[in-house]
Structures are given as C-alpha cells and as structure tokens.
Amino acid sequence: MANDIDVARLVGHVFGDGSIHNKKRYFIYTNSDATLHRKVRTMVRRVFGNVKCNINTSVGGTPRYQYSNACGKFLSQHGAPVGAKIRQPTRVPRWITSGKEGVRVAFTSALFDDEGGFRDSKGARQIVFKSAKVVELKEDLILYLSQVRKMLRSLRIRTSEIRPDQEKTKKDGTKIVSLRFWITGKENFRRFREKIILFHPEKRMKLLRMTSDR
C-alpha cells in the first residue's frame, strides 16, 4: 500500500514544478536541483517500484525526468492536476487539506521546495510563495492560494494576506496574472523550519541563516 506521506509530497510536486501530460499521463518533473530529482526518484520507487524514467531537458535546458504513465494516472486519481495548471482551476485535494499533519506537511514542503522564494538578506528576510494563472482564473488562483495559507496556519505559521504580484501578456496575447503572499519574522521562520521539510540545499541553507541568532 502506498505511503500517504510520499503520495502527498508527489502530488505537491505536480502542483509545483511537476506536471502530468494531458494525453499520455506521464508524470514529469522539471527542476534544476539534482537533490530534488534524487528525492523525487526515491519517492517514486517507494510508491511505484522500479518504474521507467527517461531523463532529458526542457526547452530552456532544465533537467526533466519523465516517469511512467502509471505514476501520472495514480497521482491524478489522488487529486493532482492534469495538463497546464496555468489554464485550469486547481484545488488542493480534500484528503490532503483535511489529512493528518504529516500529510499536510508533505504536500506543503514539496510546494516550497519547488516554488518558495527565500530571501536571507539582513533586514529584508522573508519567504515568498507565488503562483500564476490566466487572468480569467484570478478568483480561482485566490482560492488556491487561500488553501495553501490555511494549511500553513494549521501548522501555526502566519502569512501575509494575498497580494498582487504582476500581470503580463505573452506573445500569443494570453494575459497572465500572478499573486503572492509572504512569511516574515524570526519566530515564524523558526516555526517554518521546525515543520516544513525542505530538501533543496540552497533553500535549506538560507532558512538556517534566517533563523540564526546572528
């Protein structure tokens, strides 16, 4: 039986830098950090066994690991979005938002490993989380970010309100809106470090500096 913690974290990665192919249902993870790729591959093996993995790069040259469609189908059945997240409504599945703390932690940790921004400059320390969708889905984006904030609050991690980040127009005329919220304060950082399990080495180091007494 699949480990709920591993499944929750893999679903979190689909919401982050991963994706599920719209037609072929491959689970694809695209990230520049080798440590995250090793961790994802280990979780895939624990959940699915020794499934096939094709390694290539994205158009921009970022390492891209493509796993069997058995992985993508399973994760989609557990609430992971299929296809382009920026063009569809997304909701964190109820089994995660209402799950045990370990499940909520696993999902949220994957999100921040992939998409969390950590600023450790003295006097300007903060953790930022932002996401984007086509402008027509702005209200849905607010609801999604509200889910993430609620899970953080359930771990006693305080966040700002959701604020505008930027709007831009792609070459094909599609308008994209991004929104963000942030986390500040040393005690809040310490609580984040106690609860959220990061694997990204640079982000772990920044968080350590953000919680130091220096």
Instruction: Tell me: pLDDT of 116 over 50.
Output: yes
Query: What are the backbone angles phi and psi of residue 92, rounded to the nearest 5°?
Result: -65, 130
Place domain 97-210 in its CATH homologous superfamily. Homing endonucleases (3.10.28.10)
Higher per-residue pLDDT: 3 or 181:
181
Task: Return d(Cα 33, Cα 111) in angstroms, integer.
Answer: 14
- Collapse the DSSP code of 195 into the 3-class scheme (helix H, G, I; strand E, B; otherwise coil) and give the result: helix
What percent of the chain is predicted at pLDDT more than 70? 98
Q: List, for residues 73-106, the tens digit of each pLDDT value.
A: 999 999 999 999 999 999 999 999 999 999 999 9
pLDDT at 213: 61
pTM equals: 0.95
With 80 as the cut, is the pLDDT of residue 186 above it? yes
Count, in order, helices (H) and strands (E) of the chain: 8, 8
User: Using CA atoms, how far apart are residues 117 and 214, in angstroms rounded to an integer?
Assistant: 21
What residue spans define the domains of the chain?
4-83, 97-210
Q: Is the predicted pLDDT of residue 200 greater than 80, yes or no?
A: yes
Helix-helix angle 4-15:101-115, to 10 degrees: 30
- Same fold? 4-83, 97-210: yes
In the chain, the percentage of residues whose pLDDT exceeds 90 is 92
Return the structure tokens found at 179.
Answer: 């929104």
- Give the pLDDT mean for 12-35: 97
Residue 155 near residue 105 (C-beta atoms within 8 A) = yes
The pLDDT, as a whole number, for residue 2 is: 65
Lowest mean pLDDT among 65-74, 79-88, 115-124, 184-193: 115-124
CATH code that applies to domain 4-83: 3.10.28.10
Residue 214 pLDDT:
58
Give the per-residue pLDDT at 212.
82
Q: pLDDT at residue 160 above 70? A: yes
- Whether pLDDT at 30 is above 90: yes
Residue 124, pLDDT > 90, answer no
